[in-house]
Amino acid sequence: MSFCINPHCPKPKSITESRYCQSCGSDLLLNGKYRVTNLLSAKGGFGNTYEVIDEHKIPKVLKVLTYDSSKAIDLFQQEANLLKQLNHPGIPKGENYFIYHPRESQTALHCLVMEKIAGIDLEEYQKQRGFKPIDYNLACDWLTQLANILYEVHKHKFYHRDIKPSNIILKPDGQLVLIDFGAARQVTKTVLAGGKNTGIYTPGYAPPEQSRGHSVPQSDFYALGKTFVFLLTGKEPSDPKIYNINTNEFNWRKYTPNIPSRLADFIDNLMAEKPIDRPKDTKTLLKIITDIKANPHQTKKTKKTKKTKNSSLEKPKIIPIPNPALISLLAAISPSYAGFWLRLKASLIDSFIVLIIAALLGGYICFRLQQWSTFQDLNLDFDIAKEIWVYYAAGLSAAGTTIFGFALFIAAIIYNIQAKINFTHEHIAILTALGLGIVIKWLYYVFLEYLFKATIGKMFFDLSVTDSEGRRISFARANRRYLLKFISTAPLYLGFLLAAWTKKKRALHDMISGTQIRKKSNQNLEK
């Protein structure tokens, strides 16, 4: 499967892996090494996001700028340079930046290749949990992680400017990753002096100064506070239940009765209207979070009198906190393999479908062959009239889809070779009908699993066939898998029965061919 990124291509999807787009002629091998396999998002403000694989078949994320303006290009190049500078597990790694020229297009596309982050964003995380508020321990853990990420960003004299739940990815190991640095801006003397900058922000999460065209490093703290209001209440910051647009009152704390008041005070401090009233910098931010985790119920008065030696210079380590809800969700993010009984039901449906297709198509083809010269001289010594030969052929074609029909076909050929005798017309007709069933079954499994990652039976149960890394299998591997399935299931289906006991629910032919059967719902969580 390939995908053309030419914005004007009439048919960007292609089922082949050719070098050039069959629709518009644009090069499908970007920068000589990246092949686009899927469109991830077309909702970006400046362009589209795709999944690509490099020359080693490693999945990456490709951002393509389609908005042709000098300011947009500057921001895009700034994001590429920033991601190359930053080195933190909570920030996606920038790998490559290049310019792509679609065929017969006057507009060049600026492309940024980044590390692919497996997981779901925090907005989707809340949706899957029914917008249930996160607990105190998880809030502290995530605050620490995000403060550390901002420490790294601000240390390089940049700030993000668009922090929100949908720009924070939760990985299966519990690590948070801050994405979409397209709005990031370098801290300069002009900015610190109050100079205007590009108005890129998300209403509800952006601070007042940013909506007026100004932003400073403390603007990130405001958006961080609004993000945790959403996580702790399960409600958007603009929800009328917590925000009164007429009085400008923000009453969110009544929905967090189990959160210590000190943490709630801290979040209110992050959302102070004036930047000067928010924490001074990320070091201060980290110190406050560390103090809250150590003494969640400490009063402000005690906090002022008690001093921790060098605590302002300490950079807390990220310590994952076990959480039942998080563990449950992360289990859903991890690959989910189809069990034996699910695979068996899908296999039975496929067997029935193939049998019907073979009977109808095989019978029709044999009927047409009878009309031509192929079977003109057929002498039916088994008392079957030519008029009902189509029904007889349909039954033989259906039989060809079974192991017994396949064994009969092979045995007849071997016997003929060993006996050194020529086939009669009757033998040719019978073997043709059986062979059609064999070929139809091969076409059904190999091409559907190669083109669509699933047969009809598997689609019915939302299953897909992938390689060991979760990627689409090649045509050669689809053939190898099909052949091995035949061989391994012949002895009383023993090879297939292994799916009931192996860790990843793999049958013998899966293990040998390097494939697996996954539930599609878990694959879609990758971003």
CATH of the domain at 186: 1.10.510.10
Residue 305, pLDDT > 60, answer: no
Coil, helix or strand for 226? helix
Q: Which residue has the higher pLDDT, 417 or 289?
A: 289
Residue 223 lies in a domain: yes
Residue 305 lies in a domain: yes
CATH of the domain at 20: 3.30.200.20
Highest mean pLDDT among 331-335, 486-490, 523-527: 486-490
Residue 168, pLDDT > 90, answer: yes
Q: Are residues 318 and 358 in the same domain?
A: no
Q: Are residues 130 and 104 in the same domain?
A: no
Highest mean pLDDT among 76-85, 209-218, 289-298: 289-298
Q: Are residues 347 and 329 in the same domain?
A: no
Residue 8, pLDDT > 50, answer: yes
pTM for the model stands at 0.54
Structure-token pair, residue 469: 């890394």
Q: Are residues 286 and 231 in the same domain?
A: yes
Residue 332, pLDDT > 70, answer: no
**Which residues constitute the domain of residue 378?**
340-521
Residue 88 lies in a domain: yes
Catalytic residues: 162
Q: Are residues 305 and 371 in the same domain?
A: no
- Give the integer Cα–Cα distance in Å for 154 and 143: 16
User: 297-321 in b/e burial notation, b at 16+ Cβ within 10 A?
Assistant: eeeeeeeeeeeeeeeeeeebebeeb
Q: Are residues 516 and 370 in the same domain?
A: yes
Q: Which element (helix H / strand E) includes 347?
A: helix 340-371
Q: Could you tell me the sign of the dihedral formed by the alpha carbons of 29, 32, 37, 42, in that order?
A: negative
Q: Which element (helix H / strand E) includes 353?
A: helix 340-371
Q: Which residue has the higher pLDDT, 342 or 334?
A: 342
- Give the integer Cα–Cα distance in Å for 194 and 363: 80
Q: Are residues 15 and 59 in the same domain?
A: yes
Mean of the pLDDT values across residues 88-103? Answer: 90
Residue 479 lies in a domain: yes
Residue with tokens 């292994």: 498
Residue 505, pLDDT > 70, answer: no
Q: Are residues 192 and 275 in the same domain?
A: yes
pLDDT confidence of residue 316: 40
Among candidate residues 115, 141, 172, the one where a domain is terminated? 115
Structure-token pair, residue 505: 């629910």
Q: Are residues 344 and 328 in the same domain?
A: no
Residue with tokens 């590009």: 198
Residue 166, pLDDT > 50, answer: yes
Lowest mean pLDDT segment, chosen from 239-248, 282-291, 481-490: 481-490
Q: Are residues 363 and 469 in the same domain?
A: yes
Torsion of CA 416, 421, 425, 431, to 10 degrees: 10
Q: What is the rounded end-to-end Cα distance, in angstroms, of the chain?
A: 18
Among candidate residues 280, 305, 333, the one where a domain is terminated? 333
Burial of 346 (0-12, 13-18, 19+ CB in 10 A): buried
pLDDT tens, 403-448? 788 778 877 777 777 766 666 667 777 888 888 888 999 899 989 9
Q: Are residues 267 and 242 in the same domain?
A: yes
E strands of 199-313, at which residues?
243-244, 249-250
Mean of the pLDDT values across residues 131-154? Answer: 94
Residue 124 lies in a domain: yes
Q: Could you tell me the sign of the dihedral formed by the alpha carbons of 5, 11, 17, 22, in that order?
A: negative
Among candidate residues 282, 303, 333, the one where a domain is terminated? 333
What's the full length of the chain, in residues?
527
Q: Are residues 170 and 209 in the same domain?
A: yes
Mean of the pLDDT values across residues 148-177? Answer: 90
Task: Give the helix ranges, DSSP H, for 400-474.
Answer: 403-419, 425-451, 456-460
Q: Provide the domain count of the chain.
A: 3
Residue 526 lies in a domain: no
Highest mean pLDDT among 181-185, 206-210, 259-263, 481-485: 259-263
pLDDT band at 470 (very low <50, low <70, confident <90, very high): low
Residue 162 lies in a domain: yes
Residue 471, pLDDT > 80, answer: no
Burial of 385 (0-12, 13-18, 19+ CB in 10 A): exposed
pLDDT band at 490 (very low <50, low <70, confident <90, very high): low
Residue 527 lies in a domain: no
List Cβ neighbours of 161 (8 Å cut-off, separation of 6 or more).
183, 184, 185, 200, 201, 210, 215, 219, 220, 223
Beta bridge partners of 111: 64, 98
